[in-house]
């Protein structure tokens, strides 16, 4: 009888640990995605600014 309860408790804690681990993983993935989106936006903005500069330069020349 004693051993049975012991194992049950052990599995319970194990499950809790795995649960938290997956949660942490999910949070990390979320953060990564957010960051990627941010970087993409940044790149787009930079490209747009570059294009504007080029256009203005060409207009001045002509």
Query: Would you say residue 55 has pLDDT above 60?
Result: yes
Task: Please give the torsion angle defined by the CA atoms of residues 40, 42, 46 and 51, in that order, rounded to the nearest 10 degrees.
Answer: 50
Task: Count CB neighbours of 7 within 10 A.
Answer: 9
Domain ranges across the chain: 1-62
pLDDT in the model for residue 36: 95
Q: Is the pLDDT of residue 35 over 80?
A: yes
The reported pLDDT for the residue numbered 28 is: 94
Q: Which residue has the higher pLDDT, 49 or 18?
A: 49
Tell whether the model's pLDDT for residue 10 goes beyond 80: no
């Amino acid at each position: 009888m004693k051993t049975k309860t012991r194992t049950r408790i052990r599995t319970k804690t194990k499950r809790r640990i795995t649960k938290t681990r997956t949660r942490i993983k999910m949070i990390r993935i979320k953060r990564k995605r957010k960051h990627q989106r941010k970087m993409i936006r940044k790149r787009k903005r930079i490209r747009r600014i570059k294009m504007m500069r080029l256009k203005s330069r060409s207009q001045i020349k002509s």
